[in-house]
Amino acid sequence: MKSKINFWDFFQNFGKSLMLPVALLAAMGILLGIGSSLSGKAVLEVLPFLGNPVLQLIFKFMTSIGLFAFINLPILFAMAIPLGLVKQEKGIAAFSGYVGFVVLNLSINFFLKETGQLATGSLRDAGQAMIMGIHSIDTGVLGGVLVGVIVYHLHNKFYEIQLPDALAFFGGTRFVPIITAFTISIVGLIVPLIWPFFDNGIRSIGAVIQNAGVFGPFLFIASERLLLPFGLHHILVAAVRFTSIGGEALINGEVVAGALNIYYAELGNGLPFTPEATRFLSQAKMPFLSFGLPGAALAMYHTARKENQSTVKSLLLSGALSCAVAGISEPIEFLFLFISPILYLFHTVLAGTGALVLAVLQVTVGNTDGNLIDLFIFGVLQGLQTKWYLIVLVGTVWFAIYYFVFKFAIIKLDLKTPGRDVATTNVQSSGKTLKNYAAEKMLEGLGGKENMVSLDNCITRLRISLKDSSLVQEAMIKEAGAINVVILDKSNVQVIIGPQVHIVKNQIQKILD
């Protein structure tokens, strides 16, 4: 059954689709970070045996491979967005995304050539670049996003099209890349006319954030935390990481836009890291992710009733480890988000303040996840010039603040965090092993098979479209292993599971199939 696409359904899934290339980027970033650090002067001075020619060749190879995702990011978005958004024939959607991106740049090239606008001098000064060997306008990640969204709509409209018998071979899914090529060829002729206005708008937004100085990171992290309950934070994060909103820098004669793009370009070229880029990256999350929220988890453990502490220990410990090691905050945040919005507001302010403090201290630790792995690879291994030790110092203070504030608030306001009830019935379910998630019960709590329209997941939550969300039984879903349930509107629901969400999604999908 085809469902009507509304605001929540589109933007939730749009945010989720961005995570596929970002996950690849994070992994390639680690490869790049290890390769560049172990071939850098700072590490070689301390560990001279790493200067072995064979080892250095390996490290340089790691650096080269690590640059793959950074160099090809726009086309990765063009393919990943339709792949993540469509419900059927995902492979065709991704293939069409590739077709669309190439056609877009060929069409732009045709327009520039025929109108005599192809730059003959500096491509950078003219806002142009060589993209996949095509002389085109440098639309960056936004060009890939544009293609991805268009392909998604074309796919949904035409993947089941029936053509007359004489043309039947071109019907169905084969028609999607065909209509994509024709449609985006026209779009490519329009882009050169409107791109300057759009580009100026993005740069203006970026200027506001950049002119905010050290308050820029505060606004970014605080806004991200406020958007997280709705699942829309990925969109803001992508804009800062990959567009001019996150800043611009001239590196090796080329303008690089986006905080993460700038950092990877500096990392790959062995250049000093700029605080203006890293202040929006991993270091901005580390005070609350690797230190603050684990402190909150400890406070929730100590304020639980004695008879319940052994029951909630695994839940809180796994949540703390998810924050510090995996960089995933939802398992802890959703334990207090709906119980005490005031406590979540405090968390939002303190998370933003942590980013502000590290920006003032000129720390330069980049990448994406904000966990202890990033701290080691992109901080410690890169040398003392990153000032990674200040993150540990600030983080220790943040741990103490979170612990004492949460403990005080939970006791003073009598907040029902895990283990605070006289009879704890559901908290242990969130700490279940994978095989104990009750998929059938969770599906029943969602209104059963007949109430399901679509099922998907992001890193920590199920994203579900229902015919009627009023049929949702939150208590039953929590008893089946969920941390929490968020009802966005009459047809869209999110079920917070944690890092093992893909297992639960597959279990439910098997029942639906």
Task: Select from 431, 463, 483 the last residue of a domain.
Answer: 431
Q: Which residues of the chain have pLDDT under 70?
A: 1-9, 11-12, 15, 40-43, 46, 122, 125, 231-232, 338, 421-437, 459, 499
> Do 115 and 249 reside in the same domain of the chain?
no
Which listed residue (458, 464, 485, 497) is catalytic? Answer: 458
> Do 49 and 126 reside in the same domain of the chain?
yes
Asked if the structure places residue 2 within a domain, the reply is no
What's the total number of domains in the chain?
Answer: 3
pLDDT at 42: 63
> Do 81 and 228 reside in the same domain of the chain?
no
CA dist., res. 106 & res. 133, Å (int): 10
**Token couple for 327:** 């960089």
**Token couple for 37:** 């650090």
The answer to whether 500 and 434 are in contact (CB under 8 A) is yes
pLDDT at 187: 95
pLDDT at 8: 59
CA dist., res. 223 & res. 241, Å (int): 15
Q: Which residues of 114-139 are buried (b: 16+ CB within 10 A; e: fewer)?
A: eeeeeeeeebeeeebbebeeebbbbb
Task: Select from 431, 453, 475 the last residue of a domain.
Answer: 431
Q: Rounded to whole angstroms, what are the CA distances from 296 to 254, 291, 312, 336, 395?
A: 44, 9, 14, 10, 13
* pLDDT tens per residue across span 454-469: 887 776 778 888 888 8
Asked if the structure places residue 88 within a domain, the reply is yes
Asked if the structure places residue 58 within a domain, the reply is yes
> Do 192 and 280 reside in the same domain of the chain?
no
Asked if the structure places residue 379 within a domain, the reply is yes
> Do 352 and 473 reside in the same domain of the chain?
no
Q: Give the CATH number of the domain where residue 499 resides.
A: 3.30.1360.60
Asked if the structure places residue 1 within a domain, the reply is no
> Do 426 and 439 reside in the same domain of the chain?
no
CA dist., res. 5 & res. 325, Å (int): 36
pLDDT at 125: 67
> Do 19 and 85 reside in the same domain of the chain?
yes
**Does the annotation count 323 as an active-site position?**
no
> Do 457 and 384 reside in the same domain of the chain?
no
Q: Rounded to whole angstroms, what are the CA distances from 391 to 325, 357, 369, 373?
A: 15, 10, 14, 13
pLDDT at 426: 44
> Do 463 and 416 reside in the same domain of the chain?
no
458: Cβ–Cβ under 8 A, 6 or more apart, which residues?
15, 16, 19, 231, 234, 501
Domain enclosing residue 269, as ranges: 212-431
Asked if the structure places residue 142 within a domain, the reply is yes
Picking from 208, 213, 203, the residue whose alpha carbon sits closest to that of residue 362 is: 213
HSE-up (13 A, CA, CB side) for residue 420? 17
> Do 423 and 444 reside in the same domain of the chain?
no
> Do 75 and 174 reside in the same domain of the chain?
yes
pLDDT at 422: 54
Task: Select from 390, 409, 431 the last residue of a domain.
Answer: 431
The SS3 call for residue 483 is coil
Asked if the structure places residue 353 within a domain, the reply is yes
> Do 412 and 497 reside in the same domain of the chain?
no
Asked if the structure places residue 380 within a domain, the reply is yes
